[in-house]
Every structure is written in structure tokens, then in C-alpha cells.
Amino acid sequence: MSQQVIRQPNGKYGVFSSITDTIIVWDATDEELVEWFAEQAAENARQAARRVLGHVAAGQPRKAYFQFTLTWQEALESDREHGGTVWQEAT
């Protein structure tokens, strides 16, 4: 685990990073710490989405999805076979 939440003597919370061996958050309330972790998760998701979009935009979707890469037509066929509705609008 690269981050550890630690309760401070004043009742608030800090976060220690074992990557940098430093305290990266301090004097946080419960709600502030929840929001900090939520923002970290959101930023990680944004970075992951940018990586995937970059591969797809460059015409290299296999770098994102490996052998599970679908074409638009394959995705529409699966949508039709499994009760989706987009295939009706897209054809």
C-alpha cells in the first residue's frame, strides 16, 4: 500500500506516502479526506480515459483492449444480439 491514513493527536487525519516517505495530507477532517481520495480516484480515471482515447484516436485500439478490440460493426451486432437498441438507430 502506497498511502496510509493516520489519525493525528488532534483528532484529524493525515496521509503518509510510502512512495515519497512523506506526509502528503494533514489536518484533514473525515469529509475532507473522503473528498481528497475521491478527487485522486477521479484524476486517475481521467488519465486512464486519456490513455485509451489516445490509442483509439491513433488507430491503435489493440494497445488499449488487446485481443478484445471490437469494430463499430461488431459492437452493433453484439448490441442487437443482446437486446440493445443502439443498433436500430445506427444502421
Which residue has cell 451486432? Answer: 77
CB 64 within 8 A of CB 51: yes
Helix (H, G, I), strand (E, B) or coil at 59: coil
Q: Which residues, at least 6 apart from 21, have a Cβ–Cβ distance to it below 8 Å?
A: none
- Kind plus residue range of the DSSP H or E element containing 7: strand 3-7
pLDDT in tens for each of the 91 residues of the chain?
Answer: 699 999 999 999 999 999 999 999 999 999 999 999 999 999 999 999 999 999 999 999 999 999 899 999 999 999 999 999 998 887 6
Q: Please state, in angstroms and rounded to a whole number, the distance separating the CA atoms of residues 23 and 14.
A: 7
